[in-house]
Every structure is written in C-alpha cells, then in structure tokens.
Structure 1
C-alpha cells in the first residue's frame, strides 16, 4: 500500500501569531477555515470540537503544517516537550541560511535552546522554541552542491 505524509498538525495558543512566525520563515498559507460539527467530532474524537485552522506549505510544496486554535473544548496547556521525551517531538526545516532564519525567529521572540552546532561537515543545526512552545529544528546543509 503506498503511503505519503499529508501534514503535521500542531495545536497553538494564537493562530495569527503562529501563522506570522511561519510565513516570515517562508511558508505560505494555503487556506484558513473554522471547523465544527458531527464530522469534526467523529474525526478528532472530541464532542463539540470547534477550531480555527490554517494549512501552510513549504516553498518546495513537499511539506505542510496544519495549525489549529481550539475554540471548544478549551485548549489544555501542557509543559513544552523536551528533546528527550517520548511522543511528538519536533518539526524540522531545511534552510539556506541558518543565521538569517534565526534573525527572523528572534523578531518573534524565538531563540535557540543553546546555540548552533555543526554536525561534521554536513549540517549546521539548532533547536528553538517557536510560538506556543513548538519545538523546531533548523538545519543548514553545508557544502551543498
């Protein structure tokens, strides 16, 4: 059976703030909607499911993020995921210039957890917290041919 990744969905505190962060990094908004009703309850498994959603896409059209802000039931705040915890971990993006990407992230109050590391002569990498505590990895390929 063929399988492809459709998207990664992330619940956020503030949809507009999170869209601004990701669009500044280069993603584009494919669409926005507000979803509710029996089909949404069935799909997600929550009674009274009601959320504002947005679908974003990477410039190469290969990656999509679905962001959603709950209207009902109330969103539940949890501690941000730590790099060593089991479960949904992080979203990783390849960037052409990690320093430029970090300048954009800083405009949104988002900074590396520790710094930028170099993995051999292959990548410059960093983890940072985005809006709503989303854990992101940025990776710049070195010696790209």
Structure 2
C-alpha cells in the first residue's frame, strides 16, 4: 500500500491572523474555502460542521498545513500544549536565517519560549508559541567550516 502525507491540520481561533503569521514566514496560500454539509459532518465526525479552511504550502511545495476556523460547532478552547505533553506536539520549519524568522514572528507577538539553542554546532533552533498557541519550531542549519 502506498501512503503519502498530504498535510497537517490545525484548528485556530482566527484564520486570518494565522495565515498572516505563516505567510510572513514564507508559506503561500494554496487554497481557501468554507466547508459544511453532510459530507463534512461525516468526514470530520461533527454534526453541523461548518468551518473556514485554508491550505498553506511551503516554498517548493514539499509540505502543507491546513488551518480550520470553526464556525459551528463552537471551537473549544484548551490550554496550550506544552512541549512534553502527549499528542499533537509542534510544527517544525527549516529556515535559512533564524534571526530574520524570529523578527517576523516578533511582529506577530510571537517569541521564543526560552531562547535560541545551538545543537552541537549543527543547528540553531528554538520553539515559539504562534497564533492560537501553536508550538512552532524554527531551525537553521549551521555550515561547517
């Protein structure tokens, strides 16, 4: 059986705010829609499912995330996921300039949880809390001399 990862789905409070954050980091909007109806109820398992959706794509098209802003049923607020909790953990991106990426994130009010780490002179990396509490990892590969 062949299998291909299509995207990672994330429910968000404000789809426009979240799109702005990720597009400023370099993703592009591949598509947008509003979904509802029996097929959506069946696929998702929620009666009266009605949501705004957007698919964002990384440059080169190798990765996608799908954002959902629920119109019905009401979205349920939970505490933001901690890095050591079981379940959906984080979304990770490689960037060529982590400082530039962090400047962009800061314009959206998003800052590293603690700081930027150096992993064995291979990567500079950090976790930050993005829109709707999404954990985002940014990593920059370091060049060996």
Return the offset for 1:60. 2.0
Deviating runs (4+, > 3 A) in structure 1? none
**5 Å matches for 1:21-36?**
21-36=21-36
What RMSD, in angstroms, separates the aligned Cα atoms of the two structures? 1.1
- Summarize deviations over 1:44-84 as a string: whole Å, max 9, x none: 00000000000000002100010010000000000000000
Equivalent residue number for residue 100 of structure 1: 100
Deviation at residue 144 of structure 1 after TM alignment: 7.0
Query: What secondary structure sits across from 2:113 in the alignment?
Result: coil
CA–CA separation in structure 1 for the residues paired with 2:80 and 2:144:
33
Q: Give the TM-score of the pair, scaled to structure 2.
A: 0.98
Deviation track 1:105-144 (CA, whole Å, cap 9, x = no partner) reads 0000000000000000210010000000000100001117
Gaps of 5+ in 2: none
TM-score (norm 1): 0.98
* CA distance in structure 1 between the aligned counterparts of 2:140 and 2:20, rounded to whole angstroms: 22
Q: Give ranges in structure 1 of 5+ residues lacking alignment.
A: none
Distance 1:2 1:62 in 2: 17
The reply to whether residue 68 of structure 1 matches residue 48 of structure 2 is no
